[in-house]
């Protein structure tokens, strides 16, 4: 079966997942603080995560094309489908962009004009960290990536119909791949600084972009493995054998080690030199996010390493599926750990800043303070003692005293709660719906690709 049929049951499952996601997001939004910090940080977290997978797919496709890699050819349509998800990523990140421009959310400390005025460091960075550059980079770069992904897809489909002896479409694909690789290499770094690193607006690390990219690429491989195993169980991709899964297993193994290498390089250098501006990043995470910090390293390094070090586990579907699920969740946690502390810090800063500046003039205060979570209300010790205010929607808003900032643990920040997982499932439903829909639009195995024979006869 080379033509994929998107079954009704699958559709309804994915739609169900999306509905669950929407419900969770609504619940998050309603039960959130005045800034809707939890809602927006979840939105950003999952948007970056899934857009990253799409980017990773396009990157790996392009790299394989230029390196004469052929083993993946029989299932390359899966990666093409992933790469097209960039259009959804563009819309999702477009929402964040709109939020930056319109001030709907307070994810980025640098997006707040008053804070930038009062902060020399933010002022120094404002040439790069400003709503305009954020908008142009996000829309521009993701737009260009999608354009290239879409071009490559069209050429690849054209090859199915009009493939010829001189492999003219393959040459065109290589042309676009050669354009994308350097462009994607440069622009992804800038995008990652903007989207993720600037959440901790004072902090900087030159390695950060490559570290994030490794995370995205390994997640992409793990998703590929799961989808292939699923599609095989449905009777598709019978040509995908143990040999191909073995190679995906090797990539998951290898990139997990590479990710750990980057993790170690970044952590060790900052730990060793102990320059305050840099160390604060890990100090926060080690002190306030300690379980997550070690969990991140444990499940993204030790599990793939120990399970996949053997050759036979790289060939067994069971162990591969297990590791893939771990890697998918693990790198989701990795992004969680990169995103949440910065966002929470921003919210604290802004709440603190606003209460001080605006003082008692309540009519001018809109959504400026952070409410503690429901759970923490039960804990009498943690109820902040600053004046409570009420805002338009009738929610109670409790602002923080700056001294008690770190004593409180708002839900969904120091560890993902049920709402985070629900939101992720919603995004996952969207991603899978989109990918399956794209899979219906072309043959699952491209018959005229020059590498298809090699890919079929692939032996490790």
Partner 1 sequence: MLRKRNKTVIYGLYNDESDLLTAVNKANSKHLDIFDVYSPFPIHGLDPLLGLAESRLHIGGFIYGLLGTMTAFGGMTWIFTRDWPMIFGGKPYWSVPAFIPITFELTVLFASIGMVVTFYTICGLGPGVNNTILDERTSDDKFALAFDLGSLSNDKVDGLRSFLKESGAGEIHIKDI
Partner 2 sequence: MSVVVSPIREPLIGGNKTYHQITEDICAPTETTPPKSWVIAFIASVITLAYGLFCIGWLIYFGTGTWNLNRTIGWGWDITNFVWWIGIGHAGTLISAILLLFRQKWRTGVNRAAEAMTIFAVICAAIFPVIHVGRIWVVFYFFPLPNTRGPLWVNFNSPLLWDIFAISTYFTVSLLFWYTGLVPDFATIRDRASGFRKKLYQFLSFGWTGSAKHWQRWESLSLVLAGISAPLVLSVHTIVSFDFATSIIPGWHTTIFPPYFVAGAIFSGFAMVQTLMLVTRHVLKLQDYITVSHIESMNKVILFTGTMVGVAYLTELFIAWYSGYVYEQFAFLNRATGIYWWSYFGMMTCNVLSPQLFWIKKFRTSIFWTFIMSIFVNIGMWFERFVIIATTLARDYIPSSWSYYTPSWVEIGIYVGTFGLFFTLYLGFSRVAPVVAIAEIKSILKSSGNQYVNHHKDAHHHNINEQHALDHLTAEHEGEHHH
* Binding footprint of partner 2 on the chain (CB under 8 A): 2, 66-70, 120-121, 124-125, 128, 160-161, 163-165, 167, 170, 178, 182, 185-186, 189, 193, 202, 204-210, 238-239, 250, 254, 257, 261-262, 265-266, 268-270, 272-273, 275, 277, 443, 445, 447-448, 450-454, 456-457
State the binding partner of 189 from partner 1, partner 2, none, CB within 5 to 8 A by kind: partner 2
Token representation of residue 41? 């940080």
Q: How far is the CB of 272 from partner 1 (least distance, A)?
A: 7
Between 155 and 389, CB nearer to partner 2: 155
Alpha carbon distance 305, 327 (integer Å): 11
CB 37 within 8 A of CB 370: yes
Q: Is 306 in the site for partner 1 (CB under 8 A)?
A: no
CB 78 within 8 A of CB 56: no
Angle at 429 between CA 428 and CA 434, to 5 degrees: 100
> For tokens 């491989």, what's the residue?
221
Nearer to partner 1, 19 or 306 (CB): 306
Q: How far is the CB of 457 from partner 2 (least distance, A)?
A: 4
**Residue 18 parent element (H or E):** helix 8-30
**CB–CB of 56/101 below 8 Å?**
no
Binding track, positions 82-121, relative to partner 1; x by CB under 8 A:
----------------------------------------
- For residue 226, which of 349, 325, 101 has the smallest C-alpha distance? 325
* Positive or negative: CA dihedral 199, 203, 209, 212: negative
The one among 8, 102, 272, 380 contacting partner 1 by CB under 8 A: 272
Applying the rule CB under 8 A, the residues between 242 and 271 that interact with partner 1 are 264, 267-268, 271
For residue 160, the partner it binds in partner 1, partner 2, none, with Cβ less than 5 to 8 A by kind, is partner 2
Q: Please provide residue 397's backbone torsions phi and psi, each rounded to the nearest 5 degrees.
A: -120, 125
- Give the 3-state secondary structure percentages of the chain, helix then strand then coil, rounded to 5: 75, 0, 25
Minimum distance, C-beta of residue 268 to partner 1, in the bound complex (Å): 5
Task: List the interface residues with partner 1, window 308-347 (CB under 8 A).
Answer: 309
Q: Which does 315 bind (CB under 5 to 8 A by kind): partner 1, partner 2, none?
A: none
Residue 135 interacts, among partner 1, partner 2, none and using kind-specific CB cut-offs from 5 to 8 Å, with none
């926060």: which residue's tokens?
284
- Scanning the structure block, which residue is given the tokens 């990523």? 89
Q: State which residue, 196 or 411, has the beta carbon closest to partner 2.
A: 196
If the CB atoms of residues 207 and 286 are measured against partner 2, the closer one turns out to be 207
Residues 6+ apart with CB under 8 A from 225: 245, 248, 249, 252, 320, 321, 324
212 binds, among partner 2, partner 1, none (CB under 5 to 8 A by kind): none
- 75-89 in b/e burial notation, b at 16+ Cβ within 10 A? bbbbbbbbbbbbbbb
Helix (H) or strand (E) holding 197: none
The encoded tokens of residue 374 equal 């429901």
For 10, 429, 439, the CA distances from 5, given in Å and listed in that order, are 10, 17, 8
**CB-wise, 287 or 375, nearer to partner 1?**
287
> Comparing C-alpha atoms, which of 220, 160, 249, 232 is closest to residue 445?
160
Alpha-helix runs per DSSP H in 234-364: 242-273, 276-288, 290-297, 303-308, 317-358
Interaction partner, residue 321 (partner 1, partner 2, none; CB < 5-8 Å by kind)? none
Rounded least distance, CB 380 to partner 2, Å: 41
Of the candidate residues 233, 274, 390, 440, the single one contacting partner 1 (CB under 8 A): 274
Cβ at position 406, least distance to partner 1 in Å: 24
Among partner 2, partner 1, none, partner that 210 touches (CB below 5 to 8 angstroms by kind): partner 2
- Positions in the binding site for partner 1 (CB under 8 A): 264, 267-268, 271-272, 274, 309
């Amino acid at each position: 079966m080379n033509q994929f049929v998107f079954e009704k049951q699958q559709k309804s499952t994915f739609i169900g997942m999306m509905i669950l996601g929407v419900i969770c997001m609504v619940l998050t939004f309603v039960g959130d603080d005045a800034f809707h910090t939890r809602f927006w940080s979840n939105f950003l977290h999952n948007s970056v995560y899934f857009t990253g997978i799409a980017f990773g797919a396009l990157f790996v496709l392009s790299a394989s094309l230029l390196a004469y890699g052929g083993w993946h050819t029989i299932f390359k349509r899966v990666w093409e489908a992933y790469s097209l998800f960039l259009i959804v990523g563009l819309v999702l990140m477009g929402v964040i962009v709109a939020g930056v421009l319109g001030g709907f959310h307070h994810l980025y400390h640098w997006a707040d004009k008053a804070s930038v005025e009062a902060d020399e460091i933010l002022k120094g960075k404002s040439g790069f960290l400003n709503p305009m550059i954020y908008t142009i980079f996000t829309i521009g770069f993701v737009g260009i990536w999608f354009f290239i992904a879409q071009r490559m897809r069209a050429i690849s489909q054209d090859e199915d119909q009009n493939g010829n002896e001189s492999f003219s479409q393959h040459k065109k694909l290589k042309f676009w791949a050669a354009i994308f690789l350097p462009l994607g290499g440069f622009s992804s770094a800038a995008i990652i600084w903007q989207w993720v690193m600037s959440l901790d607006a004072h902090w900087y690390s030159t390695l950060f972009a490559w570290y994030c990219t490794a995370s995205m690429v390994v997640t992409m491989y793990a998703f590929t493995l799961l989808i292939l195993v699923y599609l095989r169980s449905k009777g598709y991709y019978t040509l995908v054998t143990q040999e191909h899964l073995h190679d995906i297993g090797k990539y998951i193994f290898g990139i997990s080690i590479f990710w750990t290498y980057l993790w170690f390089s970044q952590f060790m250098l900052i730990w060793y030199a102990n320059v305050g501006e840099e160390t604060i990043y890990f100090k926060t995470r080690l002190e306030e996010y300690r379980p997550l910090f070690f969990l991140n390293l444990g499940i993204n390094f030790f599990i793939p390493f120990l399970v996949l070090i053997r050759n036979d586990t790289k060939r067994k579907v069971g162990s591969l599926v297990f590791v893939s699920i771990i890697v998918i969740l693990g790198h989701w946690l990795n992004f969680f750990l990169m995103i949440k502390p910065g966002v929470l810090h921003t919210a604290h800063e802004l709440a603190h800043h606003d209460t001080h500046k605006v003082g008692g003039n309540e009519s001018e205060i809109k959504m400026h303070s952070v409410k503690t979570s429901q759970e923490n209300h039960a804990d009498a010790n943690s109820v902040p003692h600053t004046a409570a205010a009420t805002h338009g929607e009738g929610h109670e808003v409790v602002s923080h005293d700056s001294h008690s900032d770190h004593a409180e643990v708002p839900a969904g920040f120091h560890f993902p709660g049920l709402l985070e997982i629900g939101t992720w499932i919603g995004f996952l439903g969207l991603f899978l719906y989109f990918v399956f829909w794209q899979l219906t639009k072309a043959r699952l195995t491209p018959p005229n690709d020059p590498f298809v024979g090699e890919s079929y006869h692939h032996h490790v």
